[in-house]
């Protein structure tokens, strides 16, 4: 599961569809409707909020808006009711880590999208997040470099 900090407009079609599905799964987990993924690190920042459901709903609305702008027909009725006007704080280190992670994925999966992103030095965040200075988050699972 990857609930990107970066704005969904950077994702290729496969990535945007995956984000939608994973966001809906996260919503299900936060509702307590599944036994799996309950301790997934990507959910930590939502679970730490006073109203996790409003936060994930706001997150999904941002993904839905991007999908609609591309002509996709994601079913907005699957998003929980409620939204939050608060913006979650996320770090610049987390945003940079995810940016590099996405570019590595796209270099293999979608060369044209990679070429577009390669020129961008400072990506925008998903509208739910307010970026502050800081390192990669402790909950992020960074794979060890292979030797």
Within a domain: residue 74? yes
Does the pLDDT value for residue 147 go beyond 60?
no
Flag whether 140 is in a domain: no
Task: Please indicate, yes or no, if residue 146 is contained in any of the structural domains.
Answer: no
- pLDDT higher than 80, residue 134: yes
Per the domain annotation, does 142 fall within a domain? Answer: no
- Give per-residue pLDDT as tens, 26-84: 999 999 998 888 888 889 999 999 999 999 999 999 999 999 999 999 999 999 998 98
Q: Say how far apart CA 28 and CA 142 lie, in whole Å.
A: 25
- The pTM of the full predicted model, rounded to 2 decimals, is 0.92
Mean pLDDT for 73-101 is: 95
19 within a domain of the structure (yes/no) = yes
> What does residue 44 show for φ and ψ, rounded to 5 degrees?
-55, -50
Which range of residues forms the domain containing residue 115?
8-132
CA atoms within 13 A on the CB side of 133: 0
**Mean pLDDT, rounded, of the chain:** 93
Asked whether the predicted pLDDT for residue 145 surpasses 70, the reply is no
119-135: burial string, b at 16+ Cβ within 10 Å, e else = eeeebebbebbebeeee
Reported as a pLDDT band with limits 50, 70 and 90, residue 146 is very low
Domain contains 20: yes
Mean per-residue pLDDT, 138-147 = 75
Quote the pLDDT of residue 101: 94
Residue 144 maps to a domain? no
Average pLDDT over residues 101-108: 94
* Pairwise CA distance, residues 53 & 91, whole Å: 22
Residue 109: inside a domain: yes
């Amino acid at each position: 599961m990857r609930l990107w900090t970066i704005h969904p407009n950077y994702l290729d079609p496969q990535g945007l569809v995956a984000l939608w599905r994973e966001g809906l799964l996260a919503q299900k987990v936060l509702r307590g409707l599944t036994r799996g993924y309950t301790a997934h690190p990507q959910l930590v920042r939502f679970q730490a909020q006073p109203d996790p459901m409003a936060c994930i709903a706001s997150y999904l609305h941002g993904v839905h808006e991007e999908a609609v702008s591309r002509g996709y027909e994601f079913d907005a009725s699957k998003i929980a009711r409620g939204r939050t006007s608060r913006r979650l704080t996320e770090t610049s280190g987390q945003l940079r880590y995810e940016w590099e992670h996405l570019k590595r994925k796209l270099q293999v999966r979608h060369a044209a999208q990679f070429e577009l992103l390669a020129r961008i030095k400072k990506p925008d965040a998903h509208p739910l997040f307010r970026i502050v200075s800081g390192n990669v988050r402790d909950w992020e699972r960074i794979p060890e470099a292979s030797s």
